[in-house]
């Protein structure tokens, strides 16, 4: 019983650690500047 409790606690900590590291998201914005109308479009 004690081993099962320890394994459950370790698994829970691993899940929490994975969720905390998943929040480090880097956003990359890609844009393009060009005419939308007229002869150059």
**pLDDT (0 to 100) of residue 18:** 66
- 14 to 17, 19, 21, 23, 39: CA distances (angstroms): 5, 9, 11, 15, 58
For residue 3, is pLDDT > 60? Answer: yes
**pLDDT (0 to 100) of residue 27:** 86
Q: How many CA atoms lie within 13 A of 8 on its CB side?
A: 5
**Segment 5-32, tens digit of pLDDT:** 888 888 888 877 766 555 667 888 999 8
Q: Measured between alpha carbons, how far is 32 from 41 in angstroms, rounded to an integer?
A: 13
**pLDDT (0 to 100) of residue 7:** 86
Quickly tell me which residue has 């394994």 as its tokens.
7
**pLDDT (0 to 100) of residue 20:** 58
């Amino acid at each position: 019983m004690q081993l099962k409790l320890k394994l459950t606690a370790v698994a829970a900590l691993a899940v929490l650690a994975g969720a905390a590291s998943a929040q480090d998201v880097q956003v990359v914005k890609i844009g393009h500047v060009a005419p939308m109308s007229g002869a150059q479009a």
